[in-house]
Structure 1
Amino acid sequence: MTTMTKNSTRLSRRAFLGTMVAGAGLIGLPFSLRAAPAAAGAAIAFDGDALILAGDTLSRSDGSGGWMELSAPAAGGIISLATHPARPGRIAAGLAGGGIALSEDGGDGWEARSQGLPDAPVTAVTVAAAVPDTIYAAIHGDGLWKSEDAGRSWALAMDRPWLADAERDVTALASVDLATGMGGIWIYAGTELGLTRVPDCFCRWQDVQPGDAMDALVSGNPAPSEAPLPEGMIHGLASAASLPTRLYAALPSGIWKSQDAGVVWSQISGTSALAVAVHPTNADQVVAITGDGLVESRDGGANWTALARA
């Protein structure tokens, strides 16, 4: 993987923006039962035991092998999804047309939570592991934005990562409930060049290495990991809420797993993957959108089965 520390020590060039009032507009959404949809988009998340899948359509698994088709938010074009175990039914969706839509009822109804956000695609979204009302949104061409009130107001948290002499868009996000040594936890980010992370005090982007953020400041450039993620685009990241050191990543080269918070990775599928999600209470249950369709593993990636498709 490309070493990122040298380029990631730049502090944010922007002042932290003031809070902004968000708009609203509740939309009631009917649904109907159907088989699992083909995944042409690239967003998936667990809401409890149910799966929320955004592709050509938006669907929710019904727990018995079937799927309920949902109407998408009015703005449409979901490209990222996030949920939190402590807020069942709440789904945050990042929209290709810009902005965030929020559902509090498992996807039946949606409310716009976008006023004040830049008018650009939301390439990734995650909910803070320790504070479920805090949402992070990565904005194409802009930076990482933060809401502490479930999307009603937003403020800029951090510029995009500075990697290989340029700012890079964030393509995937995960909040990882492990101490940074600086009074908070981590936000991990996938980019077109690989994996990086930032403490949620937002002091700087840095390489993933053993130890905490203070160790990284002392060590400077870390020794390269013997088994990092391959260099290149990361399409999806998932942190296991029940086992925070367990991470999964979706890449063009396949699905990857880390047992040590992202320092060392192993490939658990060689099929190109677009998105990945892990069950909130079972770190071994993982579902991914791949070139072969929707697949699931119940044993941490040792074996995979295809989920039914339309």
Structure 2
Amino acid sequence: MKTLAFLAGAMTVLLPVVAIAAPNISSTDKSAWSDTSGWVNFAPTGAGAAVFDDHLEGFAWAENVGWIKLGSHSGGGYHRYANSTATDWGVNLNGGALSGYAWSDTAGWVRFDPTGGGVTLNPSNGVLDGWAWAENLGWIHFKGSSPAYSVVFTPPKELTAVLLSATNPQQLRAAVAGSGIHLSSDGGATWSAAATQPTDRRLKAAVVHPTIPSTLFAATHGSGVFKSTDGGANWSACANTGLNLSAYALVVDGSAMLYAATRGGVFASADCATWSARNTGLPHTAGVYSPAVLAVDPATPGTVYAGVNGAGVYRSSNGGGSWSAASTQPASTALRALQIKPGNASILFAASQGAGAFKSTDGGATWATCAGQPANPTLLSLAMDATGRLYAGSEAGVFVSTDDCTSWTAQNTGLPN
């Protein structure tokens, strides 16, 4: 096995006193097999592996070896290991392919994309399959039939989008990551799964065509964009020609132009079939982009905003043809949502993970911290209705502001804790 140059010297893997991220490997389908070390448990008591959109974290336990650490990062969210320094090694996930290195004090480096092997994740059922290579143990197999064993990723059920009907307020569509598309015809009192689902359940966003309400689009992290022409009952993959398939966000403007934020940057399409990159002016590292959120001006097609992890807010006035950074950025660039105020496109709001809400009054050119903040500063989503009520979804529930984020009140009665 080829050894990375930076991996010289001993490393110590210790069982964490507290979990670094919520493990999400099945409690029953959790074991890989090594002829040398025996069973490798990816959901051991007191630890476990966590699969995120683009990387792995946490620990596995090999019965005759001990702990195997899956990465140096422990912050969740979006992260890509460079695998080039002693503090930035780990296992990456790109679409359905794993790559990079885990570490065992006993077995040494465990490579997930070795020559002659490799590990994949099936996006439709969460099953990991294939072979990893441990330099002091040999092959580790993730799925076998005699005896039957497997490692299965069970993604958390996260509500990533709720779509409202323009003609029937009782008709709702919900995109649930890890589960699929669900439909309600009674205002959300009851729900049923779509008859034909996107083949990838890692749903990141969903939008409605601006003039054809029966046409919906859904973005996945690994299989690109899917389309429904019957109100969400059935779904099929778009051609996705030219699109980086690892999507983080999806929006549509008034001209029906779709914009997707992906690992490869921002892409645009008029038909969901052919996509073109729109990245001039966006920051990147070795060709890897980090736009996490998008927003479009509903009154001005072609005006697009992108929240870029680690860099802040960027604006385009020509459909993503070129981008310019805000002259004064939000104090936190770990952005999770952007919202344009209905009826006044010069006012925007941004939600951050850990630093609360921010506001711009000049079309995104400059940003300031909101005068008031929700009680919980880890904000995950924003929505604003036509009356000016701004809703913020957080780790502590829903907060509402009626004065452009000067003050907030919690509105959580009936929501689960």
Q: Same fold by TM-score, threshold 0.5 exceeded?
A: yes
Matched, 1:125 2:125: no
Q: Deviations over 1:22-49 (max 9, x none)?
A: xxxxxxxxxxxxxxxxx85362244245
**Letter paired with 1:233:** A
Q: Name the counterpart of 1:200.
A: 318
What corresponds to 1:290 in structure 2?
Answer: 394
Q: Does 1:278 align with 2:402?
A: no
* d(CA) in 1 for partners of 2:305, 2:221: 21
User: What corresponds to 2:198 in structure 1?
Assistant: 73
Q: Shift of residue 89 of structure 1?
A: 4.1
Which structure has more relative contact order (CA 8 Å, sep 6+)? It is 1
Distance in 2, matches of 1:288 and 1:69, equals 27
Match of 1:143 among 258, 261, 265: 265
What is the rounded CA distance, in whole Å, between the counterparts of 1:46 and 1:240 in structure 2? 18
Give distance in 1, aligned partners of 2:334 and 2:189: 32
Amino acid at match of 2:265: G
Work out whether residues 173 and 188 of structure 1, in 8 Å CA contact, stay in contact via their aligned partners in 2: yes
Counterparts of 2:341 and 2:163 in 1: how far apart (Å)? 11
Which residue among 157, 164, 169 is the counterpart of 2:278? Answer: 157
Structure 2 residues not aligned, in runs of 5+ = 1-155
Q: CA deviation at 1:90?
A: 3.5
- Give the TM-score, by structure 2 length: 0.50
- Helix, strand or coil: the match of 2:260? strand
The corresponding residue for 1:30 is none
- Structure 1 gap segments, 5+ residues each: 1-38, 209-221
> 1:59-83: CA deviations, max 9, x gaps?
4565646352434422221012333
How far residue 291 of structure 1 moved from its aligned partner, in angstroms, is 0.8
- Counterpart CA distance in 2 for 1:292 and 1:245 is 29
Partner of 1:261: 363
Q: CA deviation at 1:229?
A: 2.0
AA paired with 1:232? T
Q: Quick check: which has more Rg, 1 or 2?
A: 2
| 1:47–1:84 Cα contact (<8 Å) kept | no
How many angstroms apart in 2 are the aligned matches of 1:89 and 1:288?
Answer: 28
**Pairs within 5 Å for 1:38-77:** 40-41=157-158, 43-48=160-165, 50=172, 52-57=174-179, 58-59=181-182, 64=187, 66-71=189-194, 72-77=197-202
2:210/2:255 contact within 8 Å kept: no
SS at match of 1:136: strand
Residue 244 and residue 83 in structure 1: after superposition, are their counterparts in 2 closer, same or farther (change >3 A)?
A: farther
Corresponding letter in the other structure for 1:52: A
Is 1:232 aligned with 2:365?
no
Farther off after superposition, 109-118 or 92-101: 109-118
Residue 206 of structure 1, CA deviation: 0.8
Matches of 1:168 and 1:274, distance apart in 2:
20
Shift of 1:173: 0.6
**1:175: Cα distance to partner?**
0.9
TM-score (norm 1): 0.64
Identity of aligned residues (%): 19
1:205-254 deviation line (CA, Å, top 9, x unaligned): 2123xxxxxxxxxxxxx5x4xxx522321122233454433433221123
Give a deviation string over 1:173-205, Cα, whole Å, max 9, x none.
1112466xxxx6421001112111122254432
Asked if the contact 2:304–2:320 (Cα under 8 Å) also holds between the matched residues in 1, the reply is no
**Partner of 1:173 in structure 2?**
294
Aligned residues: 244
Residues 220 and 246 in structure 2, CA contact (< 8 A), matched pair in contact too: yes
